[in-house]
Amino acid sequence: MSDRRSNRPRPTPNATALLDSLVPGDIVVPDAIISGRRATSCEAAPVIAATLRRRGHAIRGATVKVGRHPGGVPVVLRANRWTGWTGVAAAPGDQAALGVCDRMAIELARARRERLVCLAAPRSFCAGVERAIEVVERALERRGTPLYVRKQIVHNATVIADLEQLGAVFVDELDEVPDGATVVFSAHGVAPAVWSEAAARGLDVIDATCPLVAKVHAEARRFVRRGDTVVLIGHGGHEEVDGTLGEAPGEILLVENVAEVGTLDVPDPTRVSYLTQTTLAADETAEVVDALRQRFPALAGPPSDDICYASTNRQDALRGLARDVDLVLVVGSPNSSNSLRLVELAEAAGTPAHLIDDATDIELGWLADAGRVGLTAGASAPPHLVDGVVDALRGLGHVTVTEHRVATETIRFSLPKAVGKS
């Protein structure tokens, strides 16, 4: 990722705000500032504006001309020589709003500094997520709208919002889908009972289940057929776990941690096998497997690791840098299991870590003492959100970007026939 400024958006003159139109209570966070003939983007503006909105303030975004306007409105803060301009402004005489601006100026001064941003690699989309998103996009092109998707196609708020804009309709259960309509099953997989319900309703199903999740389902069926009690290591309530448990209700037992291993009651201790949710933390899962093996020495497992390559790669990449930075930011949504595991991994290394959907979730206070920031993203988070975080940090001081890469991912999954090549 380059530190060049040539790619920054150039504000257009017709976007210039007439700051003398401000009314008491208004606070302007400039998205760009015009000084003379030069227009400069304020890259930290999304962070500043979101911080103020979370505190209950009414915020306006605008392109602002530097200097005093007929209404006497000042730009309160100028950044240092590296960051160009950024600031906050309020109506003259509005002491309450100007006080907010002054306090924000202090916070910005504490957060502003030169930074090293170390990107973990791989990060962001994995092959299964890319496939699932493409399934929905192609289905919309070929089938039109409305196109129904059961559950979130992947666990990321930005992806869901983008697909909704294209016409996808996300539902929790099939009873929200009209008979005979087209429905996409999410990347997390579904239980056989869901397939049966869809068939009974005459629904046209397009299956976007990640092939690695489908592998776990196939292993569950195989272990159950041979008479094993199957122990699934995972997080209760997660859609992937619900789908796997549904392969053999009552015959697959869920454990979330080592403590729960001791509570298992199985009919034949010599006929026990285990599977795992694909998005778990490898270290913690290994501890649970060790506990299972101590209790059931004949324990059988899958022929290859169920934790997907993408989760493992992202964990390994972050593990390699977490102890060498002051702060870790993980781009991902709160319901993304693999993103949450990345936060936990960084915290286990003793480094403060935060999960953010995008740059607007950053709190300026996190950055006060953070000269070295580790940055990664869960497998369901779009890459451009990572770029947005780097840009926001660049608006608070000169940024040098490095990358810690542990693997290069070349895996691609073919699309289902329903949306594949014509």
**Known binding positions for dimethylallyl diphosphate:** 155, 188, 238, 336-338, 380
- Eight-state DSSP code of residue 44: T
Nearest to residue 155, comparing CAs of 330, 342, 357?
357
User: How many helices (H) and strands (E) are present in the chain, helices listed first?
Assistant: 12, 16
User: Annotated binding site for isopentenyl diphosphate, which residues?
Assistant: 155, 188, 238, 336-338, 380
State the binding site for [4Fe-4S] cluster.
126, 210, 308
- Is 130 labeled as catalytic in the residue annotation? no
Tokens of 320: 């390699």
- Residue 232, strand partner residues: 254, 275
DSSP category for residue 280: S
Q: Which of the residues 219, 239, 240, 247 is marked catalytic?
A: 240
Residue 397: name the closest of 379, 365, 370 by CA.
370
Binding residue positions = 126, 155, 188, 210, 238, 278, 308, 336-338, 380
Amino acid residing at 74: P
Q: What is the 3-state secondary structure (H, E, C) of 116-168?
A: EEEEEECCCCCHHHHHHHHHHHHHHHHHCCCEEEECCCCCCHHHHHHHHHHCE
Element (H, E) at 65: strand 59-65
Q: Are 255 and 290 in contact (CB under 8 A)?
A: no
CA angle 73, 28, 399 (to 5 degrees): 115
Residues identified as active-site: 240
